[in-house]
Chain A
């Protein structure tokens, strides 16, 4: 469905991605894990049209995304839940949802979709006409996911969905992801929270300093002896520390 090959992105003289290749098959949940500064958000930006790569390709369902603007990419079926949620805090919850459907014109279907989202996320229904900036962190994350889903994506990108949230709220977010998966939405997830990412995904890539260090099914990776070294850049981390997210 999505094929990234040899992707290179630099900011000035600093290389953020040095030839990253990965693929996501239809219906899969794929996670990209890696420490801070590994290039995870840059990868997301490159797929969604936020940065122009220096080399490589990003192909979605047979068409290259590289020369398309962000709007066209959304229209083709890719939505992003960005790092830090970035909901429109001065808009109401309802308006945020409507904005999520900006690329669509089917008014009736949009209204029905909003209704469906409110069914999935009852917390949002109670706060429908409140400015989104007043929501709690977990509610904002739900809103960001609902907003992205309103574009009716076939591939949903999530950038650090658990960042800055309390463990209970993280549980909720991951339950939502599991449900989306059961609905057949393909998901590409970027996480620092290794434990969570491996638990929810079919396959995982380890990204470190701009390159893919390891890849495999999530089950394989958990067993792989080199896994910690690939993730942390050095061996000998105690087993117990693995689940802790190094934020």
Chain B
């Protein structure tokens, strides 16, 4: 009986992780039989999922909105590129690179970990002044950080290729690698959400003043969550760089910030299920509009919408959700156990004992 009870509670506890993971595994397996363009869409969706889950580690738990996470994505992408590009190419394209990086010989995995680690360290450092500020001010600060970092990347030719983009980044990201990182992100996000730190941070979410009053050290916790989420967002950047093989500062600015925030908001800020649902919903909508933008034929007429339509649609979608369903599609809930399978039967078991 005790085992049954333990089993029941374990199942309930793992369910919020199991459902999203199962969902994306199914999508990936189906996509792997699909066309090249479908696989690209799904891989891209998985990379965005890593960002959104990473974002939710910070935004979902702390309640502070960050507009600056794309900068960690950029750091991840560029640092990993520095460590994995062929030495000759680096000498030619990136003359300002410090010697130890220019000559570094590390595996792609090591490079990814270094890149994410650098981003997490940068986040922690930025967090020191940032989270001395109250919520709204900190949010503005994150946006300022992004603008500054993007300006630096866009202008420091000898380190980043600057305006002319960095080409020759080794391509290794595929559907399965992206899937692996996405699952890892979901598991860690779930563990953090349920951890002592995560719970304390959530306590500060609703009421900063009250949380301070009861002595929750939200300053340190926010820095911790910020660094942890930067780590995963940077991994998404690594995946992104090694997927496209080309890096440019613009790719890490407004569009990616808005798209990933839209995914988070549309699915629901406060749950993992929301992150997954948001990514699927937004990917579907943007994919449809991209097709329209690219043009299609009705009979003999080619219809093509002007560039920018997808973005306009996305922004309207996002505003509609914020106004009419502010907690997002999932309403902050995780996927719950179907009554037949879990919750109710478990109750009945407990009831029978009593």
Is A in direct contact with B (CB under 8 Å) within the complex? Answer: no
Identify the B interface with A (CB < 8 A): none
- The chain A residues found within 8 Å of chain B, CB to CB, are none
